[in-house]
Amino acid sequence: EYIKDIKGATMAGPLKNIYAILFGACDACGIGQNEKGILFKKAISEMSQIIKDQGGDPHTAVSYAGLGDLFATATSINSKNHEIGKELILSGILNLSGEGSISLDGLKIKLGETINKYPVLDVIIKMTADSQSAKNIINDLWK
């Protein structure tokens, strides 16, 4: 499937890397598959809304560039961003060498005040800003 939505695909790339950090953190916290499935659905919905808000086609979030890449990046033990999320929980240190951690500050600037509209993204921002409390932030998702 050829993606014609350049704006959407350009947003989907960094977003899937950022969301993958959360899924690595969830794995390190022992979050179950059902909970991660719910979170995955919420992440895709958020990606769709962000893409739409940035002038792209919201359907790009469920294309190869969105859902396909997010699934591969968020669930693979070989994904750098997934590993960064695990490392954040296990060591309390945010590794700034992955695309997701590098892209997060730029995304915050790009989205500005509208960033508050996206609760899953907000969790990632909170956990990366306060790496010592990241495990509690993740576990609070399920309360």
Question: Catalytic positions, please?
Answer: 16
**Chain centre to alpha carbon of residue 18:** 4
48 HSE (CA, 13 A, CB side) = 12
The helix (run of H) or strand (run of E) holding residue 106 is helix 99-111
d(CA 4, CA 37): 28
Contacts 24+ apart (CB under 8 A), 28-36: 28/85, 28/86, 28/87, 28/88, 28/89, 28/90, 28/135, 29/89, 29/135, 29/138, 29/139, 31/138, 31/141, 31/142, 35/141, 35/142
